[in-house]
Amino acid sequence: MSEETTTTTVATKAPAVAFKDLLIPLSIIISGVAIGMGLYFGTGSAAPQGAAGVAKNAPQEAPAADTTDKINPVTEADWIKGNVNARVKIVEYSDFECPFCKRHHETMKVIAEKYGDQVAWVFRQFPLEQLHQKAMPVAIASECVGELGGDAAFWTFTDRYFEETLTNDRTNIETLIPTLVAETGVNKARFTECFESERTKSAVEEDVADAVETGGRGTPWSVLIGPDGKTYPINGAQPASVIEQTIEAALQSA
């Protein structure tokens, strides 16, 4: 009885296995036909197969042209930390409410301290209004402070703002701006007149246009100008080591 049961079991399973084996190639054929019809009716022709075919037909984006040489010349009218005649100038286009600009500002302090008179740090405005609505008012305020108090007042305001800002439009500028203006020693009434008139907005907009012309598409965006006038892009909040390598390359190529 035991032997009959074992044999029956094997006999019962054998046809099932054979039928299953037949289903596998049949399903492959059906799938192939379905895919082929989908490609034909979906695109009008069969798509190229394999990685080589995809690479050959994929659109290739041309690398962005380097337009950093279109930068407006650095003059004494710029906000400069260091010597305007330094061998290397780093022009930074910054947004006061950008978190990466806040980080980059600290990095540039390190660079300025390390290189001293060899490197001039130039600050230009690049408020991204579509992202940070508070960035433009702060930029206008900083320009007013600079207009009324000179380079020292401008850098005091700028350094302190980046120390205090919460970034991404979370900063209470209604409180912070007057506080920083007081720290700079600029006359409050004269500042208020300048700020409310928005007369420095045109200077901000000129910087923004210059940033875009040189290839800036986000902040921070910087252009290094070497001793021979050659320009180098510095995109984003790079580590100090990367900026130092760019400085050294510029110095060696002169």
- Torsion angle (degrees, nearest 10) of CA 239, 241, 245, 251: 100
Query: What are 172-179's contacts with CB under 8 Å, separation 24+?
Result: 173/134, 173/137, 173/138, 173/141, 177/137, 177/138, 177/141
> 121 near 83, Cβ under 8 Å?
no
Average pLDDT over residues 219-227: 98
Model pTM? 0.76
Q: State pLDDT tens for residues 147-200.
A: 999 999 999 999 999 999 999 999 999 999 999 999 999 999 999 999 999 999
Q: Kindly report the average pLDDT of the chain as a whole number.
A: 83
Q: State pLDDT tens for residues 63-81.
A: 678 999 999 999 999 999 9
**Residue 32: pLDDT over 80:** no
Separation CA 231–CA 227 (nearest Å): 10
**Residue 24: pLDDT over 70:** no
Average pLDDT over residues 110-131: 97
**Residue 37: pLDDT over 90:** no
